[in-house]
Amino acid sequence: MKRVQRQQSRKSFRVWMVIIILLALFEAALHLFGFAGIDDFMGALLDGNLAAGAVAPGPTEGTLEVHVLDVGQGDCILIRGSDKTILVDASVSDAAPGILSYLRKLGVDGIDILINTHPHNDHFGGMRAVMDGMPTARVLLAPIPEELTPTTVSFEKLVTYLGKHQIPTAEARVGDTYDLGGGGVLTIVGPQKTYDDLNNSSLVCRVDFGRHSFLLTGDMEAKAEKDLLASGVPLRADVLKVGHHGSNTSSSRDFLKAVDPDYAVISCGADNDYGHPHDEVLERLRSRGIPIYRTDLDGAAVFVTDGDQLSVSTAK
């Protein structure tokens, strides 16, 4: 009887050892694909976002387009991959008709992902009207601390709209990646920390396609730029969407040195009340010999790449 018990005990031990080894291998695989661990994986699973950390840029097919729309004093950026259409921000409500008109002229008939970098009105104000006029499959929001969540009527209406229309909505996480098709990938690279203000809490998106890359920074300011630099994530990009509409709160010299863009794009309104873009930022960009495109002067800026060559055109 004791011999049988010992055999059963050894068998149980071997089973548990196999389970432990499999769990360790699974944990290692999760780290390999960019998850912090099993809890992070389960969170992504519950959010319906198993794209996180799982997509790497590959051989390119077709082209990728990045349009920085002229939406006045706000942000709206269209990303068109071979398989996916992504809209980053939707400016203010008054800009929505122009955004929809622009998309329709391009033949866009739906948005796969609508990303709101942070809940300031000049970035989310047009979202409801855009979603009313264009089928939207999914919405991604910035991870905002509860105490910073806006209580404005416009933001509460957006939250109510998303719930009423049952549009899948999730908080984006640093490290999440989204397949654009044709070898194009969008990666969430910031914010790296939790901040006590909304600008620094902006989602920062990196788009890679072949040899070329784009960095879209929302309204990120110098504090979050410093943390992004310290994180070690790849920042070198061909095109930089300049943070906070060209405000001197953003685009520090160290950050511009790390990104080292070939082109800079500033989204701002003509004769805006904030004086954007500020002279200090323009000087920093010019001192590095970076060509500057401004939506208030040049209209929409459109970048097209086949993964090898990169072209730029403007509406004006």
Q: What is the pLDDT along the chain (316 residues), one digit of tens a residue?
A: 444 444 555 555 455 555 656 665 565 454 444 344 454 444 444 444 434 445 667 688 999 999 999 999 999 999 999 999 999 999 999 999 999 999 999 999 999 999 999 999 999 999 999 999 999 999 999 999 999 999 999 999 999 999 999 999 999 999 999 999 999 999 999 999 999 999 999 999 999 999 999 999 999 999 999 999 999 999 999 999 999 999 999 999 999 999 999 999 999 999 999 999 999 999 999 999 999 999 999 999 999 999 999 999 999 9
CA-CA distance, 130 to 151, in Å (whole number)? 21
CA-CA distance, 311 to 214, in Å (whole number)? 13
Pairing state between β 64-68 and 301-305:
antiparallel
CA-CA distance, 227 to 220, in Å (whole number)? 11
- The pLDDT value given to residue 30: 45
Question: If you write DSSP's letter for every residue of 1-36 in order, what string do you get?
Answer: -HHHHHHHHHHHHHHHHHHHHHHHHHHHHHHHTT-S
Give helix 2-32 / helix 38-46 axis angle, nearest 10°.
70
Judge contact between 33 and 53, C-beta under 8 A. Answer: yes
DSSP assignment letter at 278: P
pTM of whole model > 0.85? no
CA-CA distance, 246 to 235, in Å (whole number)? 18
Residue 153, CA distances (Å) to 89, 93, 160, 201 in order: 18, 13, 10, 21
- The pLDDT value given to residue 60: 87
What 3-state class would DSSP assign to 90? coil
Domains (ranges, CATH) in the chain? Answer: 58-314 (3.60.15.10)
Judge contact between 80 and 186, C-beta under 8 A. Answer: no
- The pLDDT value given to residue 59: 82
Short-list 159, 139, 47, CA closest to 86: 139
Judge contact between 123 and 218, C-beta under 8 A. Answer: yes
Judge contact between 179 and 61, C-beta under 8 A. Answer: no
Short-list 248, 234, 245, CA closest to 190: 234
- The pLDDT value given to residue 51: 45
What 3-state class would DSSP assign to 228? helix
- The pLDDT value given to residue 35: 44
The torsion angles phi and psi of 9, rounded to 5 degrees, stand at: -65, -45
- The pLDDT value given to residue 182: 96
CA-CA distance, 39 to 223, in Å (whole number)? 29
Pairing state between β 263-266 and 292-294:
parallel
